[in-house]
Amino acid sequence: MPRRSLVSTTAFAALTVVVATTASADIFSYTDGDGVVHFSTRRTPGAKVYIKDDKSKLRGSFNPVMPSDSSPERFTRYDDAIREAATLYQIPTELVRAIIKVESDYDPRAVSIAGARGLMQMIPATSERMQVRDAFDPRENIFGGVRYLRVLANTFNGDLQLTIAGYNAGEGAVIRYGGIPPYDETRMYVSKVLGYYQQYRALSDATAASMTSP
């Protein structure tokens, strides 16, 4: 599968992923003298904790709610919020739509067995990081989810596949494995999101072409 990239107008340092042979649950980062950011599962002198593996935040009892909104209107209901968030965080609108489609099928009431909530299925820990107070609020969920995509895109130097994999498995897992984690769920997730992303891009291109045709 060829690599694709997310182009950002925001400059950031090149990123190097280092996976230690004796992996811990936490992820550490440091920046060398050349401005290159390194990630490792081993604490080295001067390194700071980038991701703290706090399993307690993943514990809990959740009542899953499967997506049930089958109205055709759901696919355009959140257009304004998607466009605004995508513009603000410089993420393709088609990618946001693809992730929403795979995550919740555009149902803001959806809840996974892991407690992920809303349109972009944000788990409580990620919602907290992205300052989302109400994950069931469609606009707030979209802005929080797209903000997280921007964090992931910056972390993985614009690599589209790693950004998508990080959204599913968390950036810690991508860093630990130095690429897409060997999880069947994550690999299928990346494939599905890329499929919808390409479909939405083709539709956008066709729409744009029809508007410019004489």
Q: Which sequence positions are flagged as catalytic?
A: 103
Q: DSSP readout, 162-185?
A: HHHHHHHH-HHHHHHHTSS-S-HH
Nearest to 144 by CA among 154, 130, 134, 129: 130
CB of 183 within 8 A of CB of 23? no
How does strand 27-31 pair with strand 37-40?
antiparallel
Nearest to 155 by CA among 177, 170, 145: 170
**If you compute the radius of gyration of the chain from its CA atoms, what whole number of angstroms results?**
18
